[in-house]
Amino acid sequence: MFDSPLSASAYEILGVAPDASDDELRRAFRLQLRRTHPDTGGDAAVFIRVQRAWELVGTPRGREAYDRGHGFAGASEWSGWSAPQRADTRPRAQFHGEAGGALRRSYVEQVRAWADAVVPHPYDPAFVRTVPVELRALLAHALAEEATSRILAELGMGFTVWHDVAAATRESDAVGKIDHVVLGPSGLFGVMSADTGADVRFRSGEILGADAPVSDVIGRIRLLSRTARVRFSAALLVFPDDDLAEPVVPLRSERSMLVAVMRRSVLPTVLRTGIRGTRVIGGNELFDVRTRLQQTVRFA
């Protein structure tokens, strides 16, 4: 919680300024507890966030560490949301493309245009809080893709992963992308990494407060399916664990393809074991599907 560029800070959750006194902070916490408690008609998810905010800044030592790490105390001791650098020699899934790379480049380019200057530390938390929300959303999506890609890499050598796959039939088309295409013995999956910085709610098979992202994802997957002549087992939308009330939420089925939303932490289990009722891929078909995708996939 609070580690997304779109998330409210602990101070925003409690309704106080970052320089509020300890007494003001304590009074605000008690007030928010009364307002959000489920027994008095409050929202349980918000109530939990209030408690978590207090855990982070409710003691002098905790508040000092939180302020340093999130840019509320002058120079931040946290490196911010810089691109991860990781060396790992363990057997990993075969992967192609660069998760989050296109969005990071777009974020930096647009931040420089917005600031009308070269920004030396575009990922510093204190700076990120000052940029428009649409730019913070770009960074949040990039971070979500990178977090998912780290999980996908641990699936093992039996899996192949393509990141940032362009969903278009011609190079001149611009109809979006599929964040991750995952192929393994359990099936072929289109995976989108998402982060709204808030609790995710649903209605009629769609995510509330967004412009039909589920339908957009299905459209992109169908396009790649036709182009590569492959059949997808499922479309999965992955969110940070704190943003979903349930580990897995099935939304609907589209022409035998399951569409589901899930917490990031359960994604490895779902991909390794498969989903009941969806197609598994084995033997020669697995080789054929991989070959077709290798010949078709272009990167965003």
Sign of the Cα torsion 213, 218, 222, 225 reads positive
**The pLDDT value given to residue 173:** 43
Crossing angle of helices 22-36 and 44-57, in 10° steps, is: 160
**The pLDDT value given to residue 141:** 93
Give domain limits for the chain: 10-69, 94-296
**The pLDDT value given to residue 295:** 94
Distances (CA, A) of 98 to 151, 210, 214, 245: 14, 26, 23, 30
**The pLDDT value given to residue 170:** 47
The answer to whether 31 and 42 have CB atoms below 8 angstroms apart is no
**Cα end-to-end distance, the chain, whole Å:** 29
Each residue's pLDDT tens digit in the chain (300 positions)? 557 888 889 999 999 999 999 999 999 999 999 999 999 899 888 899 899 999 999 999 999 989 888 878 765 555 677 776 655 555 567 889 999 998 999 999 999 999 998 888 899 888 998 999 999 999 999 999 999 999 999 998 889 999 999 986 444 444 589 999 999 999 999 999 999 888 888 888 888 876 667 888 899 999 999 999 999 999 999 999 988 889 999 998 888 899 999 999 999 999 998 887 777 787 888 999 999 999 999 998
In 3D, which of 25, 34, 113 has the Cα closest to residue 72? Answer: 25
3-state secondary structure the chain: CCCCCCCCCHHHHHCCCCCCCHHHHHHHHHHHHHHHCHHHCCCHHHHHHHHHHHHHHCCHHHHHHHHHHCCCCCCCCCCCCCCCCCCCCCCCCEEECCCCHHHHHHHHHHHHHHHCCCCCCCCCHHHHCCCCHHHHHHHHHHHHHHHHHHHHHCCCCCCEEEEEEECCCCCCCCCCEEEEEEEECCEEEEEEECCCCCCCCEECCEECCCCCHHHHHHHHHHHHHHHHCCCCCEEEEEECHHHCCCCEEEEEEECCEEEEEEEHHHHHHHHHHCCCCCCCCCHHHHHHHHHHHHHHCCEC
**The pLDDT value given to residue 71:** 79
> What is the separation of C-alpha 17 from the centre of its chain, rounded to a whole number of angstroms?
28
The answer to whether 70 and 78 have CB atoms below 8 angstroms apart is yes
**The pLDDT value given to residue 171:** 46
State the fold for domain 10-69. Answer: Helix Hairpins (1.10.287)
The answer to whether 28 and 15 have CB atoms below 8 angstroms apart is yes
Tokens of 284: 């020669």
In 3D, which of 171, 165, 153, 193 has the Cα closest to residue 293? Answer: 165
**The pLDDT value given to residue 300:** 80
